[in-house]
């Protein structure tokens, strides 16, 4: 009987595994090799890859971020203190708002002025619930400042006008004595805000207007011209493709590429690959673990192919590629409003997050923004709330671990990994990325997609002078391990002792179903 190391969790766990070997044999560790060129730094990893997204959907805004000044839940001008404190730890670089599909039915004047005088609308995209517009432009920009982040505002193309978009930008950003700038001052904000990014519509191929790419390209040209008149500094991002719709990218780059600063992509990881009967967020088997990760890895093909199209029209890589909606999408939690898209967040989601962030960094010479969907209480959220209660999800902890890569230089890697097999799924078992920061510290991110086998990684660090290695690991015994309001810390990172450094050689014992971030100095 062969003794195996089980997830680095000590003697008791190892003995349990050995005693159970007759009933359920523990798989032997696999081996991988990794080389990192520490002496060949590449592009800067844009911090905006770690961006967030908050839409007027379910309890993402109301109850999640906004409770109002008179709430018994501690708040600053109506915005929850606990949620802001948690999110500030992530060093969020950019926040996209107000949608999503909601953006193309949102008229900005509904959300300014005295709250008790703001019009009540129906949120027709997400549940037909009433939208009282308590959270509008001033409240959003207050949130941006409390988080210490940048604003990415999506303007209404589907049901709006270029004039409406232009007026909104002027209202927010003008330092003149224009009527719109003075209206902002009258509503309580003297200094103009900075809007770093403007999204020209959202999913214009779908909920944003069911448009053809040729028609949207012309609309984009029109809108961007008037937005430019209102603010010459904000970057203008075009509404890009739905997953593998490469024709959309082709047409937009051909017809409007010279007038845009960025173009987006939307793609979600769905267990079954179907919009109906997607699969559960918890209580799933290994079949849905495997299928979710297989679908997640399709992101690489999409990035490669969309970027190849962009490179033909923009060889100097001036135009940003922004994956401004991504994440997991499951069936809503039982007993919740299905239109509110509330789902639990498990270790599987943490693995998905790590894989995607590694991919974005590997394509960082073109991918300069990504916005996970969504920040609070919706889809693959950082934070979940229930009245006064709040918890951090496993995905939150991946973002917290990976923030060391923000603004660091990517390092070239070469990975030779075994495959993870399950049924008809056959995918690489290890995902990795590496960077070096301004202080010369190397950070190595490793994800083991295999839920059963640990993997020993023999790593060569060419050009490294590091003498110390430390790190943290995020893992759990069950594939669907998650945090609850009664037990909010079941899944969180702990110190990792499975790495040994000797000269330019690094040996890592990567536990099954884990995310590890190492620091070498």
Determine the Cα–Cα distance for residues 94 and 73; give it in Å rounded to an integer: 26
**Distances from the Cα of 413 to the Cα of 416, 446, 464, angstroms:** 10, 12, 13
Query: Which of 513, 30, 14 lies closest to 1, judged by CA?
Result: 14
| Tokens found for residue 309 | 């199209």
Please state, as a whole number, how many other Cβ atoms lie within 10 Å of the Cβ of residue 403.
Answer: 17
* Identified catalytic residue from 55, 105, 325, 400: 325
User: If residue 122 lies in a helix (H) or strand (E), which one and from where to where?
Assistant: strand 121-123
**399 CB-near residues (< 8 Å, 6+ apart):** 50, 90, 353, 372, 382
The rounded Cα 62 to chain-centroid distance in angstroms is: 21
Query: Which of 434, 441, 266, 269 lies closest to 362, judged by CA?
Result: 434
Query: Which of 144, 141, 123, 140 lies closest to 132, judged by CA?
Result: 123
**292 CB-near residues (< 8 Å, 6+ apart):** 269, 270, 271, 279, 328, 348, 352
Determine the Cα–Cα distance for residues 430 and 105; give it in Å rounded to an integer: 42
Determine the Cα–Cα distance for residues 155 and 200; give it in Å rounded to an integer: 6
**325 a catalytic residue:** yes
Considering Cα of 418, then 420, then 426, then 432, what sign does the dihedral take? negative
Query: Which of 237, 368, 269, 255 lies closest to 309, judged by CA?
Result: 255
**400 a catalytic residue:** no
In the block, tokens 């590694």 appear at 358
Determine the Cα–Cα distance for residues 102 and 23; give it in Å rounded to an integer: 52
* Identified catalytic residue from 69, 203, 210, 286: 203
**Residues carrying an active site annotation:** 203, 325
């Amino acid at each position: 009987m062969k003794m195996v190391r089980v997830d680095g969790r000590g003697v008791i766990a190892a003995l349990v595994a050995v005693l159970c070997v007759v009933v359920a044999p523990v798989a032997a560790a696999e081996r991988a090799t990794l080389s990192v060129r520490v002496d060949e730094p590449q592009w800067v990893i844009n911090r905006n890859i770690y961006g967030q997204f908050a839409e007027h959907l379910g309890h993402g805004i109301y109850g999640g971020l906004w409770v109002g000044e008179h709430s018994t839940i501690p708040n600053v001008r109506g915005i929850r203190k606990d949620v802001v404190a948690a999110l500030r730890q992530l060093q969020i670089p950019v926040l996209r708002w107000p949608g999503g599909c909601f953006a193309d039915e949102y008229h900005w004047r509904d959300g300014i002025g005295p709250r008790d005088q703001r019009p009540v609308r129906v949120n027709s995209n997400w549940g037909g619930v009433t939208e009282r517009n308590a959270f509008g432009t001033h409240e959003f920009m207050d949130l941006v400042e409390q988080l210490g982040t940048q604003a990415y505002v999506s303007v209404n193309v589907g049901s709006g006008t270029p004039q409406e978009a232009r007026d909104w930008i002027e209202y927010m950003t003008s330092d003149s004595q224009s009527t719109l700038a003075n209206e902002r001052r009258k509503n309580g904000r003297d200094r103009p805000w900075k809007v770093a990014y403007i999204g020209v519509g959202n999913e214009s191929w779908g909920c944003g207007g069911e448009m053809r790419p040729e028609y949207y390209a012309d609309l984009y040209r029109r809108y961007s011209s008037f937005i430019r008149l209102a603010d010459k500094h904000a970057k203008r991002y075009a509404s890009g493709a739905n997953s593998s719709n490469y024709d959309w990218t082709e047409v937009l780059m051909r017809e409007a590429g010279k007038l845009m600063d960025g173009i987006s992509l939307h793609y979600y990881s769905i267990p079954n690959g179907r919009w109906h009967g997607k699969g559960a967020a918890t209580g799933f088997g290994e079949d849905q673990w495997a299928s979710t990760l297989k679908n997640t890895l399709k992101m690489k093909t999409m990035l490669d192919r969309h970027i190849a199209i962009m490179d033909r029209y923009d060889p100097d890589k001036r135009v940003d590629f922004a994956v401004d909606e991504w994440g997991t999408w499951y069936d809503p939690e039982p007993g919740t409003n299905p239109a509110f898209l509330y789902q639990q967040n498990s270790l599987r989601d943490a693995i998905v997050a790590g894989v995607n962030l590694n991919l974005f960094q590997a394509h960082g010479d073109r991918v300069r923004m990504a916005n996970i969907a969504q920040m609070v209480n919706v889809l693959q959220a950082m934070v979940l709330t229930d009245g006064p209660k709040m918890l951090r999800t496993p995905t939150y902890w991946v973002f917290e671990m990976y923030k060391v890569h923000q603004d660091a230089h990517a390092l070239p890697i070469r990975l030779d990994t075994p495959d993870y097999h399950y049924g008809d799924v056959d995918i690489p078992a290890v995902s990795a990325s590496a960077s070096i920061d301004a202080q010369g510290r190397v950070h190595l991110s490793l994800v083991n997609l295999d839920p059963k086998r640990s993997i020993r990684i023999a790593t060569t660090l060419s050009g490294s002078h590091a003498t110390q290695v430390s790190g943290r690991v995020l893992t759990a015994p069950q594939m669907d391990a998650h945090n609850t309001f009664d037990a909010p810390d079941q899944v969180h990172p702990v110190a990792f002792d499975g790495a040994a450094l000797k000269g330019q050689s690094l040996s890592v014992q990567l536990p099954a179903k884990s995310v590890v971030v190492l620091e070498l100095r």
